[in-house]
């Protein structure tokens, strides 16, 4: 039977980082993946340019039943370490908005970087290989494999880096959660996150004409959480960065608050416009700050088609409310089909925050998205994959 110090299941961001680091420390490492290519989510990430980290990544940007769990790993392998690695590989990058770092070229460069790091560290990669079963004995773990490379393998340390449930079309499975449960670890409830929100049919019908309209900086709130980023009306409901962000906090049955001109007192603005030039139409004035079609739709919906001079304070207040105080109850989300990540996962109470090792199962590690640590949109999820992967790579 072939034997390795470390077997990593999952050749994604976390698994490859962990393998490279463990190999660099002199461990013999095998990485297994059932997919035909490594790093498929990296490839499609960031619109093909991989938003590989965020300059401002900090524990506050992560959601978990234990918000403190991520602190240690994020401190041990930071965004500056990621930037240094990317720079060493000569990958050009740029900061877009809000500290988000993207490749100038293609996300393929990040995959090549990880493959090069693994190659240099002597890591073996086996693709198109399924793990059929995992057994534990006094010497470690024995994995039964199926696929291109069959025959069991043995290892001292087993790292589970199989990601979350999002995008099942790309091979996402519940494998990591099932394995955790089999070894007695708790798994918190999982749900799609960073996902567009949908409306019920009647509301959708009313808002259909707005599909495709983007608002540059909408503020979306759910409870005490608020995000100010772009918002997009879609054929199913709402999307865009601000909506994806709030989707990680929103729960079924709750309303979200939408402010399309945050920071503007819309009533006072319209009153001023009425006093200055009452012969202008409301939608013309609104279109100075909002997309034309949206401005027209708001004016129509509030029955405020005429000139400003003809509109009472009461009507202007209603319009202001529609712009900055729209409360809407999404019917649901687009689900794992389009969700960028999975909220929840392997419960951190069972894991060591410095090493990612299962406290009750020495030698078993969980890293990346399979763990109950979920980042905001903006490069945070890859940062968690790098930080948790590197931390485990130091320990295995
Ligand atoms: P994954 O990257 O999902 O890797 C898991 C690996 O395990 C896969 O290769 C899979 O094939 C393999 N696997 C699964 N089950 C098994 C099994 N049973 N046997 C063997 N192998 C298995 N985050 C950012 O920070 N920035 C972005 O720009 C960004 N863009 C994104 C765009 C999209 C469309 C999506 C879907 C996600 C995006 N994310 C982004 C999120 C990010 O891709 C993930 O959080 C990250 O890839 C998680 O890394 P991981 O290594 O934990 O899991």
DSSP conformation letters of 62-76? EE-SSTTTTHHHHHH
Encode the chain (396 residues) as per-residue pLDDT tens digits: 899 999 999 999 999 999 999 999 999 999 999 999 999 999 999 999 999 999 999 999 999 999 999 999 999 999 999 999 999 999 999 999 999 999 999 999 999 999 999 999 999 999 999 999 999 999 999 999 987 667 899 999 999 999 999 998 888 889 999 999 999 999 999 999 999 999 999 999 999 999 999 999 999 999 999 999 999 999 999 999 999 999 999 999 999 999 999 999 999 999 999 999 999 999 999 999 999 999 999 999 988 888 999 999 999 999 999 999 999 999 999 999 999 999 999 999 999 999 999 999 999 999 999 999 999 999 999 999 999 999 999 999
Q: Which of 43, 340, 374, 392 to mutate to test ligand 1, by most ligand atoms within 8 A of the CB atom?
A: 340
Q: Taking phi first (over 0 means left), then psi (-120 to 50 degrees means alpha), and beta for anything else, what does residue 21 get?
A: alpha
pLDDT for residue 306: 82
CATH 3.40.50.970 is right for the domain spanning 2-192+340-394: no
Tell me which fold the domain 197-333 belongs to: Elongation Factor Tu (Ef-tu); domain 3 (2.40.30)
Centre of ligand 1 to C-alpha 369, Å, is 7
Query: Which residues of the chain are in CATH 3.50.50.60 domains?
Result: 2-192+340-394
What is the value of pTM for the model shown? 0.97
CA dist., res. 330 & res. 279, Å (int): 37
Centre of ligand 1 to C-alpha 328, Å, is 31
Dihedral sign, Cα of residue 244, residue 249, residue 254, residue 257: negative
Max Cα-Cα span within the chain: 86
8 lines ligand 1 (CB under 6 A): no
385 lines ligand 1 (CB under 6 A): yes
381 lines ligand 1 (CB under 6 A): yes
101 lines ligand 1 (CB under 6 A): no
Name the residue with tokens 């997919």. Answer: 35
pLDDT for residue 339: 97
Centre of ligand 1 to C-alpha 13, Å, is 7
Centre of ligand 1 to C-alpha 147, Å, is 21
Enumerate the β-bridge partners of residue 221.
226, 257
pLDDT for residue 149: 62
Which atom of ligand 1 is nearest the CA belonging to 14?
A: 51
17 lines ligand 1 (CB under 6 A): no
147 lines ligand 1 (CB under 6 A): no
CA–CA distance from 169 to each of 41, 102, 175, 233 (Å)? Answer: 11, 25, 15, 25
DSSP conformation letters of 117-183? HHHHTT-EEE-SEEEEEEEEETTEEEEEEEESS-S-EEEEEEEE----SS-GGGT--SHHHHHHHHT
**Quick one: tokens of 42?**
């990296």
177 lines ligand 1 (CB under 6 A): no
Centre of ligand 1 to C-alpha 316, Å, is 48
27 lines ligand 1 (CB under 6 A): no
Ligand 1 atom 31, closest CA: 45
Which atom of ligand 1 is nearest the CA belonging to 173?
A: 15
pLDDT for residue 171: 81
Q: Which of 42, 45, 129 to mutate to test ligand 1, by most ligand atoms within 8 A of the CB atom?
A: 45
Centre of ligand 1 to C-alpha 12, Å, is 6
Query: Which residues of the chain are in CATH 2.40.30.10 domains?
Result: 197-333
């Amino acid at each position: 039977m072939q034997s390795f110090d470390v077997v990593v299941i999952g050749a994604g961001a976390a698994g490859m980082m962990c393998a490279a680091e463990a190999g660099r420390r002199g461990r013999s490492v095998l990485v297994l993946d059932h997919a035909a290519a490594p790093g498929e989510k990296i490839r499609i990430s960031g619109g093909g340019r991989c938003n590989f980290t965020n300059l401002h990544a900090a524990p506050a940007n992560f959601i978990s039943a234990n918000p403190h769990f991520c602190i240690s790993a994020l401190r041990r392998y930071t965004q500056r370490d990621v930037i240094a690695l990317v720079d060493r590989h000569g990958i050009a990058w740029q900061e877009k908005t809000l500290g988000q770092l993207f490749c100038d070229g293609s996300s393929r460069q990040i995959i090549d970087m990880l493959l090069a790091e693994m190659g240099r560290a002597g890591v073996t990669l086996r693709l198109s290989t399924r793990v059929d079963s995992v057994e534990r004995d006094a010497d470690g773990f024995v994995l039964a494999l199926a696929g291109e490379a069959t025959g069991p393998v043995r290892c001292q340390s087993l790292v589970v880096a199989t990601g979350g449930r999002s995008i099942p079309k790309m091979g996402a499975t519940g494998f990591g959660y099932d394995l955790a449960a089999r070894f007695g670890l708790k798994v918190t409830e999982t749900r799609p996150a960073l996902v567009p929100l949908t409306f019920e049919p009647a509301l959708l019908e009313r808002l259909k004409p707005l599909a495709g309209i983007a608002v540059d900086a909408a503020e979306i709130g759910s409870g005490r959480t608020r995000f100010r980023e772009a918002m997009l009306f879609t054929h199913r409901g709402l999307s865009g960065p601000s909506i994806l962000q709030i989707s990680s906090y929103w729960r079924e049955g709750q309303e979200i608050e939408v402010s399309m001109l945050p920071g503007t007192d819309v009533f006072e603005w319209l009153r001023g416009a009425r006093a200055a030039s009452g012969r202008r139409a409301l939608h013309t004035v609104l279109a100075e700050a909002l997309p034309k079609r949206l401005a027209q739709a708001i004016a129509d919906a509030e029955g405020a088609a005429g000139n400003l001079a003809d509109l009472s304070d009461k009507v202007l207040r209603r319009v202001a409310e529609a712009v900055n105080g729209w409360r809407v109850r999404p019917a649901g989300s687009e689900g794992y089909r389009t969700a960028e990540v999975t909220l929840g996962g392997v419960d951190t109470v069972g894991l060591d925050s410095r090493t990612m090792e299962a406290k009750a199962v020495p030698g078993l590690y969980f890293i990346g998205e399979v763990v109950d640590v979920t980042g905001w949109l903006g490069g945070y999820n890859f940062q968690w994959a790098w930080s948790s992967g590197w931390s485990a790579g130091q320990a295995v």
